[in-house]
Amino acid sequence: MRRFLPSLACLLVAVTACGGGGGSGGAQEPIRVGLIVSLTGNYTPLGSEDKKAVEMAVEQVNAQGGLLGRKVELVTRDDKTAPDQGIVAYNQIKGEIDALIGPVFSNSALAVEPLAQRDKMPYLSLAPAQEQVEPIKSYIFVTPALSSMYAERYLQYIQAEGIKTIAVAWDSKSAYSVSGHESMVELAPKYGVTIAVDEPYETTTSDFSPLFQHVRDSKAEALVFWGSGAPGVTAAKQYVASGLKTPLFLTASQASKLWLEPMGAAAEGMTVQSAIGVVGDHLPAGKQKQVIDQMAGPYEQKHGYPPPQFAQDGYSASLLLFEAIRKAGSTDKTKIQQALEKMDLITPNGRFRYSPTDHSGLSPEYISVNTVKNGQFVPTEWAMEQLTKTVTAQG
């Protein structure tokens, strides 16, 4: 069965027409959604964008009367980019929320996950680490494309470009980066790709010149850099200064003004992955573009810039949760979980098709491979062809 979301307005009309989830007569208790994101620490730039997007989604749904005739209330906590603080934040709010969104920091997400599963708390993670959904935990769902999907999408592009040998750098302290690296190593033979340089670094690394020298001394035809936050800017700037001619490929953690602005003109021509929503302006008309536009326009009007990768994740998680609550007809946690497992919904991140055996819901086809042109992310010719096929197939 195809369950699409052509526009938020349609969802809001549907949800406000439904009853349930509260007593009759008088004001009903709000539906409380927990949000745990990094508002301090290394992942502050990521978490703050998630927060802005979730807040906007809540404002929009409340402006149309809320869910099930009830207002939605956001209960936000800061995990301080630290797993132990993610646990503290969850324990502070678990008794007062109906469902949970976040964290964006994979290490925190993995720390919170077993607690949410224990408490049977419907949980939409904003982190892409593979371990969250392998094996499946019944109440845990992931909103961003998994690290393995980003790895496979790059390998598809690398193969299409005729590249046979690559270098890979990865943050050994980041679950996202470790997972992406492991998937790339595992999948490389499938695409006829050899990894000539396989080099770990740490989140606090400030000098990447040894990495660039190792790449220069190898036969690598491209350097794939796995990292989030500060390392993405530091490494990219030092890459330009090093004069290394081997093309630099960056993952979706750099698909943001938070990377573009400090890079400035030095970013021109670099290759960066992103969720499909980041390049919505380039898509043909249809359901996918319509859903992206319903977020992008209001977001840019409110904040003065297009929604980056992390905002796409937060907004998509909100739509998925809102739709699950609507279909559940109440805030019963088990019913929300069951509704999520039957979800088929188009969001700014792409079309989600969760099932009892798939709690990531997305496929690599909703990932774009872009180049930076005039300070913007523009799909490569290969990516544009692939994305057009994907969104056209949605009908």
Of all residues in the chain, what percent are helix, strand and coil, respectively (each to 5)?
50, 20, 35
From the number of C-beta atoms within 10 Å of its C-beta (0-12, 13-18, 19+), residue 301 rates as exposed
- Sheet containing 72-78: order of strands: 72-78, 31-37, 99-101, 123-125, 140-142
Topology at the third CATH level for domain 8-144+285-362:
Rossmann fold (3.40.50)
In the chain, which stretches have pLDDT less than 70?
1-27, 395
* pLDDT score of 28: 86
Give CA–CA dist 115/91, Å, rounded: 9
From the number of C-beta atoms within 10 Å of its C-beta (0-12, 13-18, 19+), residue 43 rates as buried
* pLDDT score of 16: 35
Give CA–CA dist 172/154, Å, rounded: 20
Residue whose structure tokens are 């224990």: 118
> Residue 372, SS3?
strand
Structure tokens that stand for 216 in this block: 């220069």
Question: Quick one: which of 49, 60, 54 has its CA closest to 76?
Answer: 54
Q: How far is CA 42 from CA 51, 64, 93, 313, in A?
A: 16, 36, 23, 18
- Backbone angles phi and psi of 255, in degrees to 5: -80, 65
Question: Quick one: which of 330, 348, 347 has its CA closest to 339?
Answer: 330
* pLDDT score of 168: 98
Our CA angle for 221, 223, 225, nearest 5°, is: 165
Structure tokens that stand for 148 in this block: 């393995």
In CATH terms, are 8-144+285-362 and 148-281+367-393 the same topology?
A: yes
Q: How far is CA 328 from CA 97, 321, 332, 337, in A?
A: 16, 10, 8, 9
* Residue ranges covered by each domain of the chain: 8-144+285-362, 148-281+367-393
Q: What is the CATH number of domain 148-281+367-393?
A: 3.40.50.2300
Rounded to two decimals, the pTM is 0.88
DSSP 145: P
Residue 56 exposure: Cα atoms within 13 Å on the Cβ side: 25
The set of long-range contacts for 241-249, using a CB threshold of 8 Å and a minimum separation of 24, is 242/209, 242/212, 244/212, 244/215, 244/216, 246/167, 246/215, 246/216, 246/220, 246/221, 246/222, 247/221, 247/222, 247/223, 247/271, 248/222, 248/223, 249/154, 249/222, 249/223, 249/224, 249/225, 249/273
By the 8 A CB rule, do 372 and 360 touch? no
Beta bridge partners of 77: 36
Sign, CA dihedral 58-43-231-170, equals negative
